[in-house]
Amino acid sequence: MTAWSELGEEERRLFIAESEELVDTLESGLLALERGEVDAGLVDEIFRAAHTLKGSAATAGLEGMAGLTHAMENLLDEVRAGRRSPGSGEVELLLRAVDFLRETLAAVAAGEHPPEPPEALYAALDAAVAGGETAAAVPASTVAGTTPDTGATSDTGAGSTGNGRTASAPQSQPAARADWRVEAQLDPECPMPAVRALQVLLALEPLGEVVASDPSREAIEAEWSGRVVRVWLRGGDREAVGAALRSIPDLTRVRVEPAAPPSPQRQARSAEDRTIRVDVDLLDRLLNLVGELVIDRGRLARVGQRLAERNGAQDLAEELSRVTAHLGRVTGALQEVVLKTRMLPVAYVFRRFPRLVRDLAAQLGKEVELEVSGEDTELDRSLLDVIADPLLHLVRNALDHGIEPPEERLRLGKPRVGRLLLSASQEGHHVLIRLEDDGRGIDPDRVRATAVRKGLLSPERAAALGDREVLDLLFAPGFSTASNVTDVSGRGVGLDVVRKNVEGAGGRVEIESTPGRGTAFVLVLPLTLATLRALLVRVDRDVYAIPLASVAEVLQVEPAGVTSLQGRWATTVRGRVVPLFWLRQYAEPGFRPGRPARPVLAVLVHHQGRWVGLVVDRLLGEQEVVVKGLGRLLAGVRGLSGVTILGDGSLALILDVPALIACLAADAARDAARNPSDASRDPGPASSRDRGSPAETGPAGGEPTPPRETAATA
């Protein structure tokens, strides 16, 4: 056994990373238990986490941690064996132990001396185990039914003898040499468990070599009062074992199985054997290299095209094109794999919140129910790192300032228990993380007043701001609506930092709030910081990349097919009205397209279940592009999700189609609002009398409503 201080840097890091995951599992399991989700699988999972922690703590030479996890394991084993139903007292106790484990890990991470577990905690755990012994035992038949075999080596009952703390953790693989693992369950009413256990050992000894047993022979002879005896036996066979044990009284169940595979824990371990931990920096470098490769592949393809145009080089060009195509497939696959290695479910970030919310709510005297959904949604690892702190901040905010105390809620006619919804979902190329509370909401007037008081705005400007713009003030540096800075959320990090972090990663933060009803923050994040297939288009001198996933098809629209609706242009595609936006309007907001005299090229994109046409000058082809962020300065730009470097080193802006359409639609709406009387006028030189009904034939309607062909008089 090594001392913790002798661990190498790498070992220490691995130990911490692994242990943190296990502590997380332990904690989320305990919280689920507290919510009443008692099932054998769950208890088992918690037990296994504690057990594995014990093993690795012992290996790392962290005796305090090993001892404490051992005590936890004892209590959990009682629960697992059905002798103890996990009440809030037990869960609280175990959670306190979890806190200690975290402290230990933090100390180890910081290179400090790990703390000693408090005596009181041991005493409480031991007492809980002892209490469990005297509690009414569950009939053996149920025990058998609800206790799946885990193959874990536990020291059942050892805690009650008071030696739980000092007992060194048993080897995690006590019986690598064993052929059989024998488990005998004793009748809970059995008056002399130690005698029966010894009988089991004695009966098995003649059959082969007893490699290990749990409890050990010494423990049995000292004083033992557990209910499960496990023996690892080398040699012998299944029938002989069964026969040898048959004559021993008070055994309610005997299980004999090969010592090696089918135990679930072993299986889990073999899966672990096939995974390795990789430094994220390495993955980052790998991704960058793949990115370079993708760019070079694009260049190679261009060289091939040029070669093909040259006389006498046809065969070379053809071969180059074949090689390039193959290279393309390989790079594509490589890229996919690299990206996949970087994806993690958001659960990695989400799972700390149940505990956090529970503790914070208690601390603030609030009652809050946290509902989490979409934890399986995957996100690039680096983005998970980015959102962890902002989310933490938002959750704290919601509990501190959003959700009201129970009495206030009742007075307002709201349910006593506040609700906090944390969800993740994927929408197109984005992952949305939404945190919604049903609390006070944000009062725009209070925000205005605060902004003025803090000198961020003049009273006149504040008054002139719309309510939505006012909400945006929350993100201004140095702004905090909390009238009193509290221990919970007044830590100097404001929403401005939240926004900065999220936008720095190419995402954005949106906020919705209704006073008295609640607030929702939405983090809109790119799926990955990686690459995508895009359609390259040219408008004037600008090149844009439209993510292929958004593109439905490309159309040539004849002038006669362009109709006017509500002062806007549209066309009809297979009976559906498709609004047309000139992409030029994006870079030149003042541009007003007239009725086209020649056919126009429209890229049909999906938008909210409809089609919208983006009119472009030219198509440049389809290409894999490496997404690069626009950087902090330009993170807030609407309509773009990044930029990419083309084969010739020039840049193309990658369009964020939903935001772009929203942007163009907003322009049009503003135009219409500015000149309401013009709504009937044709957007261009042409004119139209057709106003239709706004509700049905709004330009983004795209409904299969037959468009009333307008008097296309141009």
Partner 1 sequence: MPNPAGDRQEEQLVLFRLADEYYGLDIGCVREIIVWQPVTRVPRTPPFIEGVINLRGQIIPVIDLRRRFGLPETERDRSSRIVVVEIASVVTGLVVDAVSEVIRLPTSAIEPPSEVLAVDAAFIRGIARTDQRLIILLNAERILDHAEQEALAAGAAAATEAAAAATGHGGGDGDERGTS
User: Which residues are the active-site residues?
Assistant: 51, 73, 397
Type and span of the H or E element at 182 = strand 180-186
Give alpha helix (H) positions in 310-429: 314-342, 347-350, 353-364, 381-397, 406-411
For 532, phi then psi, to 5°, come to -155, 165
Q: Is 497 in the site for partner 1 (CB under 8 A)?
A: no
Q: Closest separation between CB of residue 394 and partner 1, Å?
A: 18
In the list 83, 668, 686, 688, the residue contacting partner 1 (rule: CB under 8 A) is 668
Q: Is 628 in the site for partner 1 (CB under 8 A)?
A: yes
In the list 18, 472, 622, 690, the residue contacting partner 1 (rule: CB under 8 A) is 472
In the list 337, 491, 634, 704, the residue contacting partner 1 (rule: CB under 8 A) is 634
**Which residue, 129 or 663, has its beta carbon nearer to partner 1?**
663
Distance CA 349, CA 343 (A): 13
Q: Is 701 in the site for partner 1 (CB under 8 A)?
A: yes
Q: Is 651 in the site for partner 1 (CB under 8 A)?
A: yes
Q: Is 587 in the site for partner 1 (CB under 8 A)?
A: yes
Q: Closest separation between CB of residue 495 and partner 1, Å?
A: 12
Q: 3-class SS at 605?
A: strand
CB 144 within 8 A of CB 251: no
Distance CA 385, CA 348 (A): 10
In the list 250, 503, 624, 656, the residue contacting partner 1 (rule: CB under 8 A) is 503
Cα angle for residues 20, 433, 34 (degrees, 5° grid): 50
Tokens in use for 122?
């041991």
Nearest C-alpha neighbor of 608 from the set 658, 553, 649, 551? 658
**Which residue, 597 or 695, has its beta carbon nearer to partner 1?**
695
User: Going residue by residue from 348 to 387, which x/- string records binding to partner 1, judged by CB under 8 A?
Assistant: ----------------------------------------
Q: Is 434 in the site for partner 1 (CB under 8 A)?
A: no
Question: How much of the chain is in helix, strand and coil states, percent to nearest 5?
Answer: 45, 20, 35
Q: Closest separation between CB of residue 313 and partner 1, Å?
A: 30
Q: Is 672 in the site for partner 1 (CB under 8 A)?
A: yes
Q: Is 669 in the site for partner 1 (CB under 8 A)?
A: yes
Q: Is 446 in the site for partner 1 (CB under 8 A)?
A: no
In the list 194, 502, 616, 700, the residue contacting partner 1 (rule: CB under 8 A) is 700
Nearest C-alpha neighbor of 216 from the set 256, 180, 174, 177? 174
Q: Closest separation between CB of residue 688 and partner 1, Å?
A: 15
Size of the site for partner 1 (CB under 8 A): 58
In the list 665, 683, 686, 688, the residue contacting partner 1 (rule: CB under 8 A) is 665
**Applying CB under 8 A, which part among 24-32, 62-70, 204-212, 633-641 lies near partner 1?**
633-641
Q: Is 643 in the site for partner 1 (CB under 8 A)?
A: yes
Give alpha helix (H) positions in 35-87: 40-59, 63-80
**Which residue, 80 or 508, has its beta carbon nearer to partner 1?**
508
Q: Is 464 in the site for partner 1 (CB under 8 A)?
A: no
To the nearest 10 degrees (0 to 180), the angle between helices 63-80 and 88-109 is: 160
**Which residue, 124 or 539, has its beta carbon nearer to partner 1?**
539
**Which residue, 396 or 568, has its beta carbon nearer to partner 1?**
568
**Which residue, 233 or 652, has its beta carbon nearer to partner 1?**
652
User: Going residue by residue from 89 to 118, which x/- string records binding to partner 1, judged by CB under 8 A?
Assistant: ------------------------------
**Applying CB under 8 A, which part among 194-202, 349-357, 419-427, 465-473 lies near partner 1?**
465-473
Q: Closest separation between CB of residue 318 and partner 1, Å?
A: 31
36-41-43-48 Cα dihedral, nearest 10 degrees: -150
Tokens in use for 272?
């672990």
Q: Which amino acid is at 538?
A: R
Environment class of residue 254 by beta-carbon count within 10 Å: exposed (0-12), middle (13-18) or buried (19+)? middle
Q: Characterize 598-621 residue by residue with b for buried, 16 or more Cβ atoms within 10 angstroms of its Cβ, and e for exposed.
A: eebbbbbbbbeebbbbbbbbeebe
139-143 — which CB contacts under 8 Å span 24+ positions? Answer: 139/188, 140/185, 140/187, 140/188, 140/252, 140/253, 141/252, 142/82, 143/81, 143/82, 143/185, 143/188, 143/227, 143/252
**Which residue, 406 or 629, has its beta carbon nearer to partner 1?**
629
Q: Closest separation between CB of residue 27 and partner 1, Å?
A: 35
**Applying CB under 8 A, which part among 135-143, 304-312, 324-332, 582-590 lies near partner 1?**
582-590
**Applying CB under 8 A, which part among 46-54, 139-147, 396-404, 469-477 lies near partner 1?**
469-477
Nearest C-alpha neighbor of 656 from the set 607, 691, 611, 703? 607
Interface of this chain with partner 1, residues 250 to 289, rule: CB under 8 A = none
Tokens in use for 661?
């359409």
**Applying CB under 8 A, which part among 3-11, 226-234, 472-480, 484-492 lies near partner 1?**
472-480
CB 565 within 8 A of CB 691: no
Q: Is 569 in the site for partner 1 (CB under 8 A)?
A: no
CB 359 within 8 A of CB 488: no
Interface of this chain with partner 1, residues 607 to 626, rule: CB under 8 A = 608, 610
CB 468 within 8 A of CB 447: no
CB 234 within 8 A of CB 179: yes
**Applying CB under 8 A, which part among 254-262, 598-606, 613-621, 666-674 lies near partner 1?**
666-674
Nearest C-alpha neighbor of 196 from the set 235, 228, 173, 149? 228
Dihedral of CA 503/636/615/694: which sign? positive
Interface of this chain with partner 1, residues 56 to 85, rule: CB under 8 A = none
**Applying CB under 8 A, which part among 97-105, 117-125, 233-241, 642-650 lies near partner 1?**
642-650
Q: Is 191 in the site for partner 1 (CB under 8 A)?
A: no
Q: Closest separation between CB of residue 673 and partner 1, Å?
A: 5
**Token pair 């005997």: residue:** 254
DSSP per-residue letters across 228-268: EEEEEEES--HHHHHHHHHTSTTEEEEEEEESSTTSHHHHH
Binding site for partner 1 (CB under 8 A): 292, 466-469, 472, 475, 477, 499, 503, 508, 510, 542, 566, 568, 579, 586-587, 589, 608, 610, 628-640, 643, 645, 649-653, 659, 662-663, 665-666, 668-670, 672-673, 676, 679, 694, 698-701
